[in-house]
Each structure stands twice: as C-alpha cells, then as structure tokens.
Amino acid sequence: MYLLFVLFNPLPVMRTISTFLLLLATAYASAQTEKTPEGVDLLKAPASPSAQLLNIAPNAIERPTDLSSFWISVNNVTSNFTKFPTDYSFDISPVSLFHSTGVTLKDLNTKNLSSVLWQTLIVSTGIRSVEDTLTGQSFYKAAIGLKISFIRPKWSGATESKYQAISVLQEEVTEKIKIDVNEILKDSLYQRKLTEREAVKNKKSAEYKRIDKELDDLFLILLANKRVERMADRSESYTRLKELARDFKIERVGFYLDMAGGFSGSFPTNKLGYSLADRSGVWLTGGYDGGNNHLSVLGLARYLYQPETIYADPAHTIPTKRISTLDMGTRLLYSGTDDKFNFSLESIYRSVLNKNIIGPSWRLIFSAEYDTGFNTKLTLNLGRDFDGSLIKGGNLIAGLTFIAGFGNKRNL
C-alpha cells in the first residue's frame, strides 16, 4: 500500500514538472539576454596587458609580491639561469615589491594623485616563443605593459566605519602598552641593568654590547609578560579587534578612471638588434560606482593595433595586419532599493581606423526588469543592433517578456 502511494503520489511529479518548467523559463530568459553576448564587458581592460598581447593564459601569469618570491619565480622559469624561458609573464606592483615607502592602510584611501598613481601601478611583462607557420622556425615575442588608476574611488561608508572601529581599539591598545612601559621603566631590575649600561664608558666595547643585549632581552621578557596579562584582562577587546581586522575588506564608491596599455614586439632572428612591432593596445575605463541601490555608470574605450580579431568585422573579411581599431562603450545601471526594479542602458561603438572597407557601427540597448513578486518578472529589452541598423536603419531587438515560474517562490 505504502509502495503504491509512493509510486503514484502526484506531489513529487508535480514538483518535477514545475521545476522543469522553471528551468525552461530561466533558460528562455537567459537566451533572451544572451542575444547581446559581446557587450560592453568585452571592452574591459585585461587583467594583464602583456599576457593579453602575447596570448598567454591568465592563470599562467606570475604575480610575485616581494623580491624573494620574484627571485624564486625567475629562478624556476630559467632552471637556475641555465635556459631562456619559452612562455613567461609576470605582473608586479612596484609599491608592493619594494615596500620601502611604508604604505599603510590609511594611505590606501588617499586622494593624492602621485600616491594613487604609485599605489595602483602594475607593470606587466612577458616573453613567448612562437613558431613561424611558413618556415617552421621558432622565434621570440616580448611584451611590456602597465595598469594605473588616475582617479580612485573613496572608501564606502561601511568601510570607513569598520576602519574607525579598528582605530579606536588600536588606540586603546596603545594607551595600555604605554602604561605597561612606564611600569617596566620603573622596575628595579630594569633600572639596575640600565645603570650598569650607562656606567660603561666605551660604547664600542664587548662589555657594553653584552649589557646592551641583556637589557634588550630583559625588556622583551618584561613586555611579553605584560602583554599576556593585558590580553587576559582585555580579551574581549583583543578578540573584537582581531575579528574586525580579519574581516576588513575595502569597498569603494565614487568616480574612477583607470588606464591599461602595452605593446609587443617580435624578434624574427632571435636577436635583440632586429625587432618588429607586433601588437599594441590601450584600454581606458572610467565611470561612477554608486555601490548597492544606486546608479552606476561605466565608460570604456579600447584602441588596438593588429588585434587578434577585429570587433567591427565579425565575418573576418579583412586581415588584421597593420589594422588599428577603436571601440567604445558605455553602460548605465540602476538597481532599486529592494532589487525589485533594475534598468540598464548600454551602448557600443566599434570602428576600424585605417581601412574604409568596414565602416563604424553602433548598438544601443535598453533593458528594464521589474520583479512583480511570486516567481513573476516583467522584462523589457529595446534597442538597435549593429547589423540591423546598418541594413534596416534601426529595429527592435526584443519586445516585452513576462517570465513566470511554478512551485515554491524562487528568485528568477
């Protein structure tokens, strides 16, 4: 009887059907939005300009954070300097690699232009061995690039608040350490050791060095004892400070302007004296990030010389040799307070600068979405496509879509 009930219970079947329909509706909605796969995101600056120009996979890029790891990386790739690397690319942040300037947490919120430039500078370089398809001989290509921010957004209110909380607790710790130090400096044993050191006239003598070291060791022991006592007395404050510091993440809001660029050259004879310009690119990214429940604006411009593919020529009708392209895009995003209403306006312009065969083209898409509640969503996509506008002088890409799901409430 139970078996029959399980076999013929309609509820799981209903659930399966509703889940299937929900998946179908989601897939349909995704298909609708995927009508614009090559959106503004395509124009975004690459993680590593030189690796992009040399076609080196992003996960193969070395990112050493200090000189010793940089040294190990170079040592590994050259097999202890016994061979020239075939594929090697690394990105370094000079401020991180040579951390002599002492950039602290507070400095990461500075508006000072020279500090922002220095802190955000990333130098990207790489080398790759490629094979000539005609001769079958291999030769080297090398690239160098950089990434930098001209305008960096300020910290969000939430980040500022967390930083202030950390600062207050740190100040409390400093005050406590000062009290402890004053007590140590009055300690009779410590005073005796100090007097002993002062009494040695020859400050370069072995005796002076011995007493000086003993004093430092004693100081450290006394400070360690005080720290243990302090942490026991104020364990809550220390725990809170540790939690805040551990979870601290920098979120930024406001205007930003970043630039990335690089160029690559090939060495057909594998000699430094003879090189040919290969590819180059400049990416400019700017906008305003309003954080959650606000307006965000993004503007992108990309210049490429001898790109791998020409964005304005998806049919590959012209070769990329000695071709320069300029592509630009903007995106405006707004999300309402409870994420019920979202809209975006996206435009892309693409062009080939030095060939008249392919004219510039542009696309404009407006998308709006309203969550009407209980698995229903009203979406609208309106726009003008690249080819559609060129042929017909503008058309609608899509109309109004209503998406409904079945079963329990789900976020579509």
Partner 1 sequence: MPQEIKELIFSLDKEYKLAADTTTVSLSVIVGVMGQSPDLDVDLDEKELLTHHKGSITALPITATVGAILQIIGNVVDVASDSNKIEVTLQLEGGVQSLTRTFSVNVEQDGETVDVVFIIRFI
Where do contacts with partner 1 occur on this chain (CB under 8 A)? 65-66, 95-96, 99-108, 119, 166-167, 170-171, 173-174, 177-178, 181, 185, 194, 197-198, 203, 212, 215-216, 219-221, 223-224, 227-228, 238, 241-249
| 3-class DSSP state of 279 | strand
DSSP for 80-105, written as a single string: TTTS--SEEEEEE-HHHHTGGG---G
> Measured from the CB of residue 164, what is the shortest distance to partner 1 in angstroms?
11
> Measured from the CB of residue 49, what is the shortest distance to partner 1 in angstroms?
21
> Measured from the CB of residue 248, what is the shortest distance to partner 1 in angstroms?
5
Give whichever of 216 and 387 is closer to partner 1, judged by the CB atom: 216
List Cβ neighbours of 118 (8 Å cut-off, separation of 6 or more).
94, 95, 101
Give whichever of 235 and 408 is closer to partner 1, judged by the CB atom: 235
Q: How far apart are CA 305 and CA 352, in angstroms?
A: 10
> Measured from the CB of residue 393, what is the shortest distance to partner 1 in angstroms?
52
Give whichever of 17 and 179 is closer to partner 1, judged by the CB atom: 179
Give whichever of 167 and 317 is closer to partner 1, judged by the CB atom: 167
Nearest CA to 302 among 322, 287, 282?
282
> Measured from the CB of residue 231, what is the shortest distance to partner 1 in angstroms?
9
List Cβ neighbours of 175 (8 Å cut-off, separation of 6 or more).
none
List Cβ neighbours of 176 (8 Å cut-off, separation of 6 or more).
230, 234
> Measured from the CB of residue 197, what is the shortest distance to partner 1 in angstroms?
7
Give whichever of 215 and 364 is closer to partner 1, judged by the CB atom: 215
> Measured from the CB of residue 105, what is the shortest distance to partner 1 in angstroms?
4
Are 299 and 306 within 8 A, CB to CB? no
> Measured from the CB of residue 254, what is the shortest distance to partner 1 in angstroms?
20
Give whichever of 215 and 318 is closer to partner 1, judged by the CB atom: 215
168-194 burial, b at 16+ Cβ within 10 Å, e below that, comes to ebeeebeebeeebeeebeeeeebeebb
Give whichever of 70 and 219 is closer to partner 1, judged by the CB atom: 219
Q: Tokens standing for 42?
A: 């395509």
Residue for token pair 């080398």: 127
Give whichever of 89 and 93 is closer to partner 1, judged by the CB atom: 93
> Measured from the CB of residue 52, what is the shortest distance to partner 1 in angstroms?
23
Q: Which residues pair with 2 in a beta bridge?
A: none
List Cβ neighbours of 102 (8 Å cut-off, separation of 6 or more).
none
List Cβ neighbours of 244 (8 Å cut-off, separation of 6 or more).
162, 165, 166, 169
Q: How far apart are CA 32 and CA 178, in angstroms?
A: 65
Give whichever of 200 and 364 is closer to partner 1, judged by the CB atom: 200
DSSP for 293-351, written as a single string: TSEEEEEEEEEEES-SS-TT-TT--S--TT-EEEEEEEEEEEE-TTSSEEEEEEEEEEE
- Let me know the angle formed at the C-alpha of 183 by 200 and 197, rounded to the nearest 5 degrees: 5
Give whichever of 236 and 338 is closer to partner 1, judged by the CB atom: 236
Quote the crossing angle between the two packed helices 157-185 and 206-233, to the nearest 10°: 130
> Measured from the CB of residue 93, what is the shortest distance to partner 1 in angstroms?
8
Q: How far apart are CA 397 and CA 388, in angstroms?
A: 9
Give whichever of 119 and 325 is closer to partner 1, judged by the CB atom: 119
> Measured from the CB of residue 221, what is the shortest distance to partner 1 in angstroms?
8
